[in-house]
Amino acid sequence: MDEPNSPPEPPEKSYRLMESRSEARIAIGEVLDLACREIRVFDADPATLKDYEIGQSARIELLRRFLLASRDHRLRIALHDTRGIEIALPRLIALLTQFSGQVQIHRTVGQAAEARDAMVIVDDAHYWRKLHVDHPRSVLTLHSAGDTRPFLERFEEIWEQSELAVTGSNLGL
């Protein structure tokens, strides 16, 4: 039996393999629900993010609450191609405009433009990762900083080889 003032047990690590887009949509929601500090997203283009419901009103509201909770919260998105983002994800663009100091959308350049996986990483311990853009198989890992670390490093490498592509002030130019 726990002592009255003992700290709660940490959540148990969780791993799950998904074989379909519908399972991936659910998994991405699970990862986003756990966000406490930073959300990092890497994918091919706005259409893919739309397919994973990143621009749906419920997800945007979740992201809005996350960003409102602290000025230190961050949402970073790296895409290979940002063309058409205003049309595909107008709610995300509105969020970018409202939280321009907390939300960044970059476009990959150089070697990063060759990456063929996709990922959503939350804080330092949770991620969803699509193994290859041409295949539906993906992996969800929750409550595991050790397993998340290599993908955090991968995301940071991609981020370093990207450039600011979309801001709340240059739309329509």
Give residue-wise pLDDT tens across range 52-84: 999 999 999 999 999 999 999 999 999 999 999
What's the mean pLDDT when you consider all of the chain? Answer: 92
| Residue among 167, 156, 166, 170 at smallest CA distance from 42 | 156
Residue 53 half-sphere exposure toward CB, CA atoms < 13 A: 17
- Phi then psi for residue 134, to 5 deg, are -90, 0
106, 159 contact by CB (below 8 A) = yes
Residues near 135 by Cβ (< 8 Å), separated by ≥ 6? none
**Is 3 strand, coil or helix?**
coil
- Burial label, 162 (beta-carbon count in 10 A; 0-12, 13-18, 19+): buried
129, 152 contact by CB (below 8 A) = no
Q: How far apart are CA 14 and CA 137, in angstroms?
A: 17
Amino acid at 127: Y
Q: Give the model's pLDDT for residue 135.
A: 86
pLDDT at 144 over 50: yes
pLDDT for 14-42, tens place per residue? 999 999 999 999 999 999 999 999 999 99
Confidence band (pLDDT; 50, 70, 90) for 2? Answer: low
Q: Give the model's pLDDT for residue 173.
A: 41
Angle at 156 between CA 150 and CA 158, to 5 degrees: 105
